[in-house]
């Protein structure tokens, strides 16, 4: 009975454009939590995340009557939120340029100081949550857009105006960094036991 979610989005968009304000509620409810969680973890501040969240939807509402599905709705929405979040981070004076410039796929070499594979346990989840918040912005944004927002890597490359290799590179680095956190924790735990 479940239909393709993107098809649903397109129906709600067109329905809203044709005058059904209730169709907007469907779009909002579908994206409320993934989008807000994305902004919260990007900005690490509830108040600011709420402001940017609201700004994003206001922009969407303003542009929606003219929106013609050039882009999938979800990817369009996350794109607007992403740029608003980056503007916000710039405002607070953080240096993003260098961070966004590096980390392409070519730089990833075999092994990269992390163990081959690790087993992620349920109790790691809380620690992992903090670890995601501490990833460099560029890596955090890729991993969260992909996994919370279900935005494809190709769409992320379009949103961030970079190559798909850069996006994949950031994904690899994000996972490698999270892995390091978990491995360090495990080592700490075992040395404590010893």
Summarize as ranges the residues that interact with other proteins (CB under 8 A). Answer: 1, 3, 11, 14-26, 28, 32-34, 36-37, 40, 49-50, 53-54, 57-58, 61-62, 64-65, 105, 108, 110-111, 116-120, 124-125, 128-129, 132, 143, 146-148, 152-154, 164-165, 168, 171-172, 175, 178
CB closer to other proteins out of 83 and 172? 172
Place of tokens 């994305």: 38
- Closer Cβ to other proteins, 3 or 91, answer by number: 3
Report, in Å, the least distance between residue 33 CB and other proteins: 4
- Whether the CB-CB separation of 159 and 82 falls below 8 Å is answered with yes
Residue 72 contacts by C-beta under 8 Å, 6 or more apart in sequence?
A: 6, 9, 155
Whether 145 and 31 have beta carbons less than 8 Å apart is answered as: no
Residues in Cβ contact with 64 at an 8 Å cutoff, skipping those fewer than 6 apart: 13, 16, 17, 24
Least separation in angstroms between residue 136's CB and other proteins is 16
Residue 7 CA to residue 44 CA, distance in Å, equals 33
Contact call for residues 73 and 27 (beta carbons, < 8 A): yes
Tell me how far, at minimum, the Cβ of 93 lies from other proteins, in Å: 25
Least Å distance, CB 178 to other proteins, is: 7
Q: Of the two residues 100 and 173, which places its CB atom closer to other proteins in the complex?
A: 173
CA end-to-end span of the chain: 54
Q: Which is nearer to other proteins, 98 or 116 (CB)?
A: 116
């Amino acid at each position: 009975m479940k239909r393709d979610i993107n098809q649903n989005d397109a129906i709600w968009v067109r329905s809203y454009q044709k005058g059904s304000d209730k169709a907007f509620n469907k779009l909002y409810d579908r994206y409320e939590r993934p989008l807000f969680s994305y902004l919260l973890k990007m900005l690490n501040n509830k108040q600011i995340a709420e402001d940017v969240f609201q700004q994003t939807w206001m922009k969407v509402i303003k542009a929606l009557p003219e929106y013609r599905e050039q882009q999938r709705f979800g990817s369009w929405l996350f794109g607007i939120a992403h740029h608003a979040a980056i503007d916000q981070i710039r405002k607070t004076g953080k240096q993003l340029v260098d961070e966004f410039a590096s980390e392409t796929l070519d730089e990833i070499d075999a092994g990269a100081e992390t163990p081959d594979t690790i087993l992620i346990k349920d109790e790691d989840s809380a620690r992992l949550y903090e670890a995601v918040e501490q990833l460099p912005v560029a890596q955090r944004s890729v991993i969260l857009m992909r996994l919370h927002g279900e935005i494809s890597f190709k769409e992320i490359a379009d949103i961030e105006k970079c190559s798909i290799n850069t996006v994949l590179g950031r994904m690899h680095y994000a996972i490698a960094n999270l892995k390091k956190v978990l491995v360090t924790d495990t080592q700490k735990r075992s040395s404590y036991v010893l």
